[in-house]
């Protein structure tokens, strides 16, 4: 049974989420402020965290940044009323795996939760396992594993999703807008460096010389492509 930690100061909303999630078979813990939420997320080792941004004691952004700083890779779903572009960008740049704005559909939240848990368990998202490689990097998209020169490479969920999106194009160019829609599910074209930041991390982890990449290439005024 997967355990979900809900960090939400609105008692009615927290109770509603707990009820829905428990009905779906999840074990649910809850925290009503930032500091206690951070400690429960660190010490309790939940399988997934649902995080509000406007929390007493410590903002959701700070909870998320500190959680990542401590080395936690637990999937984090931000659930908040703050839906402005800068809020969404800051959420993903702070280490969120998904972002849903209030008011929300319960079915949508449950679908996002199931998807994040499947990714965290390394379960395939398609019926067919695909293993591909470029240079000395090998990627198993079903197991969501990456090796470089035979050594395991640890990618965040979003970094892996971004790499998978590039691989799926088989060398074709993909725009930032397409990547934002596919990987981060942004519903509109917005100006953000989120893609660029994650591309830089992929290069740091997978390229021999990140400053002069051989495989993860920038196509000026168009986007990115992966050369195999």
Q: pLDDT tens across 65-94, in order?
A: 999 999 888 999 998 887 677 777 788 888
Same domain, 8 and 108: yes
How far apart CA 157 and CA 56 sit, in angstroms, is: 28
Per the structure, the count of domains in the chain is 2
Residue 168 lies inside a defined structural domain of this protein: yes
Same domain, 14 and 114: yes
Label the pairing between strands 216-219 and 223-226: antiparallel
Same domain, 38 and 117: yes
Same domain, 88 and 151: no
pTM over 0.85: no
Query: 103: cis peptide before it, omega within 30°?
Result: yes
Give SS3 for 208: coil
Domain of 169?
Answer: 131-226
Q: What is the 3-state secondary structure (H, E, C) of 154-187?
A: CCCHHHHHHHHHHHHCCCCCECHHHHHHHHCCCC
Q: Say which residue, 178 or 85, is predicted with more confidence.
A: 178
CATH of the domain at 167: 1.10.10.10
How far apart CA 41 and CA 15 sit, in angstroms, is: 18
Q: What is the 3-state secondary structure (H, E, C) of 76-96?
A: EEEEECCCCHHHHHHHHHCCC
CATH of the domain at 117: 3.40.50.2300
Residue 126 lies inside a defined structural domain of this protein: no
């Amino acid at each position: 049974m997967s355990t979900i930690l809900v960090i939400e100061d609105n008692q009615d909303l927290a109770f509603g989420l707990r009820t829905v999630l428990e009905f779906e078979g999840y074990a649910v813990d809850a925290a009503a402020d930032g500091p206690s939420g951070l400690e429960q997320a660190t010490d309790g080792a939940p399988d997934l965290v649902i995080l509000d941004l406007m929390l007493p004691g410590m903002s959701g952004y700070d909870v998320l940044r500190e959680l990542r700083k401590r080395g936690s890779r637990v999937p984090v779903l931000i659930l908040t009323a703050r839906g402005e572009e800068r809020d969404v960008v800051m959420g993903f740049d702070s280490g969120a795996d998904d972002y849903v704005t209030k008011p929300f559909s319960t079915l949508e939240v449950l679908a996002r939760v199931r998807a994040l848990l499947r990714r965290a368990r390394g379960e395939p998202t398609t019926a067919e396992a695909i293993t591909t490689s470029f240079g000395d990097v090998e990627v198993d998209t079903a197991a969501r594993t990456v090796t470089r020169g035979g050594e395991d490479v640890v990618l965040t969920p979003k970094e892996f999703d971004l790499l998978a999106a590039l691989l799926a194009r088989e060398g074709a160019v993909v725009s930032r807008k397409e990547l934002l829609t596919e990987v981060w599910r942004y519903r509109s074209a917005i100006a953000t460096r989120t893609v660029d930041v994650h591309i830089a991390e992929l290069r740091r982890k997978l390229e021999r010389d990140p400053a002069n990449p051989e495989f993860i290439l920038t196509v000026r005024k168009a986007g990115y492509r992966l050369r195999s």
